[in-house]
């Protein structure tokens, strides 16, 4: 990367930004400030014009409550852009919001965005183009498991092997690293959203109760588990009785919720087992020493690390502040771009590294 006096000067004053553009939440890391934005990846739009009316936390409050002329949407599905213009508007909102916290005008930022591993060139290009269109001076892409590993402090640049399991809203990413590269990677579109759907389906089939996504998410966070709890809990599901059509509240136990999540949990565990089965023996020996790092919001599911540890016979631990690992890792790249650019992902038509 050649030295440019202009870029050096801009770098002194601009806010370099790392973004975890997630299916469920978007997080923004600003160099020197840490995580400054953590908001849901929701946008409320006018149904006819598709013009955004509310973004982030304000838009999520409208989910399930919008009038007929407004639609609340998530412009990313399974970690990739499904609605380009709305994603661009959301990115612009978050970048502008990060900038608005400063008291002086500053140049447009350099931005590193986390993307799921295994996305197509078209999907990479969509994220890159949306980031530039949203106001970035330069845009770079990094695979989410690599960003999560860097954010969690794993020694990805060393010869010894390390492993991260990043479970977000739309995708679960597994990667095993050595010498700055990914040795084994797996991506699965079973994650937090799928678990919410499991709870919705359970309420429907077992209790004839229709509940919303937000209710399912709250229940998952409060009592969802992958392992027997030391003290099982009760939680109230509120929704519409499918037989009478009237409002109803049903008490369910954490045991029932764990049963509803059993299939998704088993799918995640099998994915980890498959990755380990293909891992070279020397790296397996390293993993037995350093363990497996869990990142992403769903890594906080009660008992998941312990359940996984029992199944794969390797120590499993949850990263510090797992929800922010990808955003922090993306941001750390810009702290030392000359040396860490090797962790970025290029585009086939014009690399992201030419800026």
pLDDT tens per residue, range 268-308: 999 999 999 999 999 999 999 999 999 999 999 999 999 99
Same domain, 179 and 98: no
Same domain, 110 and 181: no
Q: Which two tokens stand for residue 213?
A: 């996504």
Q: Is 164 helix (H, G, I), strand (E, B) or coil?
A: strand
Same domain, 285 and 181: yes
Query: If you write DSSP's letter for every residue of 238-266 in order, what string do you get?
Result: EEEETTT-SEEEEEEEHHHHHHHTHHHHH
Same domain, 229 and 258: yes
Is the Cα torsion angle 196, 201, 204, 207 positive or negative in sign?
negative
Q: What is the C-alpha to C-alpha distance for residues 167 and 98, in angstroms, rounded to an integer?
A: 26
Same domain, 169 and 50: no
Residues 6 or more apart whose CB falls under 8 angstroms from that of 229 comprise 254, 302, 303
Q: What is the pLDDT of residue 65?
A: 84
Q: What is the pLDDT of residue 80?
A: 81
Same domain, 13 and 64: yes
Same domain, 203 and 236: yes
- Is the residue at 155 inside a domain? no
Q: Is 152 helix (H, G, I), strand (E, B) or coil?
A: coil
Same domain, 212 and 178: no
Long-range contacts made by residues 260-266, C-beta under 8 angstroms, separation at least 24? 260/198, 260/199, 260/201, 260/202, 261/195, 261/198, 261/199, 261/220, 261/224, 261/225, 261/226, 261/301, 263/198, 264/190, 264/194, 264/195, 264/198, 265/226, 265/304, 265/307
Checking if the pLDDT of 101 tops 70, the result is no
pLDDT grade for 210, boundaries at 50, 70 and 90: very high
Q: What is the pLDDT of residue 236?
A: 97
% of the chain with per-residue pLDDT over 90: 69
Terminal alpha carbon distance of the chain: 8
Same domain, 103 and 213: no
Of the candidates 262, 285, 300, which is a domain's last residue? 262
Q: What is the pLDDT of residue 338?
A: 87
Same domain, 211 and 102: no
Checking if the pLDDT of 106 tops 80, the result is no
- Whole-angstrom CA distances from 257 to 167, 183, 205, 216, 301 are 19, 35, 13, 10, 12
Helices (runs of H) and strands (runs of E) counted in the chain: 13, 18
Q: What is the C-alpha to C-alpha distance for residues 105 and 279, in angstroms, rounded to an integer?
A: 50
Q: What is the average per-residue pLDDT within 105-118?
A: 83
- Is the residue at 56 inside a domain? yes
Q: Which of 7-21, 128-142, 219-233, 241-255 has the lowest mean pLDDT?
A: 7-21
Q: Alpha carbon 130 to chain centroid distance?
A: 18
Q: What is the C-alpha to C-alpha distance for residues 71 and 42, in angstroms, rounded to an integer?
A: 10
CATH classification at residue 258:
3.90.640.10
- Is the residue at 301 inside a domain? yes
- Relative to beta strand 162-167, strand 172-178 is antiparallel
Q: Which two tokens stand for residue 132?
A: 């530039």
CATH classification at residue 35:
3.30.420.40
Of 95, 89, 105, 2, nearest in space to 43 by CA: 89
Q: Is 294 helix (H, G, I), strand (E, B) or coil?
A: strand
Q: What is the C-alpha to C-alpha distance for residues 227 and 203, in angstroms, rounded to an integer?
A: 20
Checking if the pLDDT of 352 tops 90, the result is no
Residue 277 exposed, middle or buried by CB count within 10 Å (0-12, 13-18, 19+) = exposed
Contact predicate 10/299, CB 8 Å: no
Q: What is the C-alpha to C-alpha distance for residues 185 and 177, in angstroms, rounded to an integer?
A: 9
Same domain, 124 and 205: no
Checking if the pLDDT of 15 tops 80, the result is no
Of the candidates 234, 262, 290, which is a domain's last residue? 262
Question: Kindly report the CA angle at 354 between 146 and 341, in degrees rounded to 5?
Answer: 30
Q: What is the pLDDT of residue 10?
A: 46
**Which element (helix H / strand E) includes 180?**
none
- Is the residue at 154 inside a domain? no
- Is the residue at 152 inside a domain? no
Q: What is the pLDDT of residue 348?
A: 62
Same domain, 242 and 346: no
Boundaries of domain holding 226: 192-262
Q: What is the C-alpha to C-alpha distance for residues 318 and 165, in angstroms, rounded to an integer?
A: 9
């Amino acid at each position: 990367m050649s030295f440019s006096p202009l870029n050096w000067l801009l770098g002194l004053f601009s806010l370099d930004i790392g973004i975890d553009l997630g299916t469920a939440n978007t997080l923004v890391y600003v160099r020197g400030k840490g995580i400054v934005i953590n908001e849901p990846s929701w946008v409320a739009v006018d149904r006819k014009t598709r013009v955004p009316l509310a973004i982030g936390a304000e838009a999520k409050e409208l989910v399930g409550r919008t009038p007929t002329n407004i639609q609340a949407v998530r412009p990313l599905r399974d970690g990739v852009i499904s609605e380009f213009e709305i994603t661009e508007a959301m990115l612009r909102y978050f970048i502008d919001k990060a900038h608005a916290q400063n008291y002086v005008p500053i140049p447009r930022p350099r931005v590193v965005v986390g993307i799921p591993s295994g996305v197509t060139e078209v999907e990479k290009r969509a994220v890159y183009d949306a980031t530039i269109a949203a106001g970035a001076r330069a845009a770079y892409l990094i695979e989410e498991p690599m960003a999560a590993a860097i954010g969690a402090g794993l020694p990805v640049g060393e010869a010894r092997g390390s492993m991260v399991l990043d479970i977000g809203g739309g995708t679960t990413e597994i990667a095993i690293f050595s010498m700055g590269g990914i040795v084994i990677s797996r991506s699965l579109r079973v994650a937090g959203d799928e678990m919410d759907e499991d709870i919705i389906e359970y309420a429907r089939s077992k209790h004839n109760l229709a509940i919303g996504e937000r209710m399912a998410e709250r229940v998952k966070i409060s009592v969802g588990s992958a392992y027997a709890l030391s003290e099982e809990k009760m939680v109230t599901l509120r929704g519409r009785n499918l037989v009478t059509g009237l409002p109803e509240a049903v008490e369910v136990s954490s045991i029932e919720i764990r049963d509803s999540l059993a299939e998704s949990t088993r799918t995640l565990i099998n994915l980890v087992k498959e990755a380990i089965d293909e891992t070279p023996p020397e790296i397996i020996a390293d993993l037995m020493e350093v363990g497996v790092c869990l990142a992403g919001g769903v890594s906080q599911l009660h008992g998941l690390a312990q359940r996984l540890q029992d199944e794969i016979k390797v120590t499993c631990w949850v990263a510090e502040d797992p929800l922010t690992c990808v955003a922090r890792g993306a941001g750390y790249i810009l702290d030392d771009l000359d040396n860490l650019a090797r962790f970025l992902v290029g585009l086939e038509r014009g690399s992201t590294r030419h800026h």
